[in-house]
Structure 1
Amino acid sequence: MSDLRPLVPEEDPLPRVQRMTRLARSNDPAQVLVVGPSWVGDMVMAQVLFQVMRRRWPRVQIDLLAPPASAPVGQRMAELRRVIPLEIPHGKLALKARRALAQELQPTDYDWAICLPNSFKSALVPYWMKIPVRSGFRREMRAWLLSDPHRLNRRKLPRTVDQYVSLGLPPRLPQPQQLPAPRLQVDLAARDLTWQEFGLNPSARVVALAPGAEYGPAKRWPVAHWTRLAQALLQSGYEVWLFGSPKDAPITQEIAAQATGAVDLGGRTSLLQAIDLLSLAPITVSNDSGLMHVAGAVGSRVIALYGPTPLQMTPPLSAHAQVIRRELSCSPCGKRECPLKHHRCMEEIEVSQVLAQVLGSPTSR
């Protein structure tokens, strides 16, 4: 951190920051740079912030700085002017690359930056750009990089989406009682090309299954359960499409191998293609994952399977989502792997219970 401190301006910046804070928060901010999260699900939740900002400041121009894993989600957000790729490997500090990016972006003359991730490194580019107002939570000893540091009160703001929205609201305004659901745009022309490429039937009764979870195995419903669900759905006359990232491909392949007729798209689609295809599925069954949030944001009715995740932190935000979970004394633990080695919170979610939710859904009739 010692190589960063000399970059602090010698003059006292506080009076200017105060003036710019009043300008950005009281009048219309002109250009805002948002540093986006790395997780796909968190990026979908960030879209709620963009809706709130555009409703308050209809003419504001919002640019998103995001890593490759989540940047494609931003391409489907109507509120954004552009998405700027952050081509730095996840977890890398990469001071030179971030400094070079700051110099490249500085001519845009942003008057406000919002850092959604809580990491130290996520605040570096706005700081080096000398954006007058830099908002974010006081985390990882980075408060000196921010001109508008917020204290995170998890009791007051338990959900990630509430935390994001609070960073984009003037401090004098109360948190909205109700937030809009996330909305992602669907590229209809690209969707047509995609279903043709994979030989899919866009008019079929489709149930999408998303059996992966990037965060860790504790979030995943067992493969055997997914397999039995897929088999039951196929026997009931549904088409089953399996979605997932390349990391999820072994899981989707195992399910498809035992559920004859299921279409394995795991690792075969881009994230943008998955966004478009999920809009064709009236129902999506998913672990707590990025694809769960994507499915809800494109209009699919989500049946979400929760185990170790604190539901109050990252619940599905679509209006008609249904959550299935087991109430156990050890959950939610928030761990990537079950610390007790039994994984009961997911193992004990019955296939029959999930199937009943699918068959009883209005969209399945």
Structure 2
Amino acid sequence: MSAPKILIFGPAWVGDMVLAQSLFKVLKAKHPDCIIDVAAPAWTMPLLERMPEVNQGIVLSFKHGELALWQRIQFGRTLKNQGYSQAILLTNSFKSGIIPFAAGIPRRTSFLGEMRYGLINDIRPLDKTRLVRTVDRFVALGLDKGVTIAEIPNPTLIADKTKALQALEKLNAPAQGKILGLCPGAEYGEAKRWPAEYYAEVANEALNKGWQVWLFGSEKDMPVTAQINQLTQNKCLDLGGKTKLGEAIDLMSLCHTVISNDSGLMHIAAALNKPLVAIYGSSDPHHTPPMSAKTTVFYLGLKCSPCFERVCPLGHLNCLREIKPEQLSNVLSRN
């Protein structure tokens, strides 16, 4: 009997794609010889390249929110002769069900999502009280109906130290001593961002102890990384907008400790098994926790939390402002 070949339609968010690796691990434990391909947006490919369970990443080039019905049907037809026995969809949209249906993949597994009767023929019930975490829901789709597992494996990204050192050489920034990585961005919105001045306070504390401080972020995070660096008299290595995702992963593997908002970079740090301080504001650490035993979570759980809003609806952002820099510095001093 040939090894099962599974096509997984992965999430678009970086953090969710990191969590999806737990599913890949469960599938490999169940069928060690299975072949796992993952279809997802281009920006997630560097993550898949660092997951040994994945055979190949397949780029989905459709724009966010775009139905592109005929293009999806055509794309699905190009996959018809690839020998997939099962598709697992980690996305819930109607449009995401078109490609595996058009590809003629015999078993198409997911939650019902947006009324995908027919597009999905292995519909799983979604009990949010039992499957509380995102990772629980992903893994459940890889199990037979009615089956549960006692312990879900943590994501573990494989970083390349050689590439990290090459990136540092390109930036003319050698790595020396202990390195603190700070991830002050959060693409979702400001209600997930711990104040920049608080990050700067922690950065100055670490710098005074002889640590290097690296600021991680995308192009969208450049204003906040620049602000933090300015508040430290430009003593940090500001990587905001200067690295691609793959380079950021490899560079983060050199850090001793990482402090992060609830973001994709937070999940990357956890998957690199770094000592991690994770800060939650409008989101819920019980729903998308970092999957690592080396994590300290700061979450106040106020009456208004979690609101899941992009901007604080009450205008005070107390869920983050009441988490003080000295609390994080105390954790840092123990590392």
Give the drift of 1:285. 0.0
Closer/same/farther in 2, CA of residues 171 and 28 from structure 1, 3 Å limit: farther
Q: Contact 1:31/1:62 (CA < 8 Å) preserved in 2?
A: yes
Secondary structure of 1:241's aligned partner: strand
Give the drift of 1:203. 3.9
Distance in 2 separating the partners of 1:35 and 1:313: 21
When structure 1 is superposed on structure 2, of 52-61 and 221-230 the one drifting more is 221-230
- Is 1:183–2:133 an aligned residue pair? no
Distance in 2 separating the partners of 1:277 and 1:299: 14
Task: Choose from 38, 41, 48 the match for 1:67.
Answer: 41
Distance in 2 separating the partners of 1:201 and 1:53: 40
Identity over aligned pairs, percent: 41
Secondary structure of 1:33's aligned partner: strand
Task: Choose from 13, 29, 32 the match for 1:55.
Answer: 29
Q: Contact 1:211/1:252 (CA < 8 Å) preserved in 2?
A: yes
Distance in 2 separating the partners of 1:316 and 1:30: 30
Task: Choose from 320, 328, 333 the match for 1:354.
Answer: 328
What letter corresponds to residue 163 of structure 2 in structure 1? A
Give the drift of 1:28. 7.4
Secondary structure of 1:80's aligned partner: coil
Secondary structure of 1:69's aligned partner: helix
What letter corresponds to residue 149 of structure 1 in structure 2? I
Query: In terms of Rg, which structure is larger?
Result: 1
Secondary structure of 1:62's aligned partner: strand
- Is 1:275–2:249 an aligned residue pair? yes
Q: Contact 2:259/2:278 (CA < 8 Å) preserved in 1?
A: yes
Distance in 2 separating the partners of 1:198 and 1:298: 22
Task: Choose from 76, 92, 101 the match for 2:50.
Answer: 76
Aligned to 1:225: 198
Task: Choose from 212, 218, 229 the match for 1:239.
Answer: 212
Q: Deviations over 1:234-267 (max 9, x none)?
A: 1121110000111111110111122121010011
What letter corresponds to residue 77 of structure 2 in structure 1? Q
The aligned length equals 334
Tell me how large the CA RMSD over aligned residues is.
Answer: 1.3
What letter corresponds to residue 206 of structure 1 in structure 2? I
The unaligned stretches of length 5 or more in structure 1 are 1-26
- Is 1:151–2:120 an aligned residue pair? no
Give the drift of 1:204. 2.2
When structure 1 is superposed on structure 2, of 215-224 and 138-147 the one drifting more is 138-147
Aligned to 1:4: none
Task: Choose from 253, 269, 278 the match for 1:295.
Answer: 269
Distance in 1 separating the partners of 2:146 and 2:16: 26
Aligned to 2:59: 85
Task: Give the 4+ runs in structure 1 shifted more than 6 A.
Answer: none
Q: Contact 2:161/2:254 (CA < 8 Å) preserved in 1?
A: no
- Is 1:253–2:226 an aligned residue pair? yes
Distance in 2 separating the partners of 1:310 and 1:144: 33
When structure 1 is superposed on structure 2, of 192-201 and 33-42 the one drifting more is 192-201
- Is 1:208–2:181 an aligned residue pair? yes
The unaligned stretches of length 5 or more in structure 2 are none
State the TM-score, normalized to the length of structure 1: 0.89
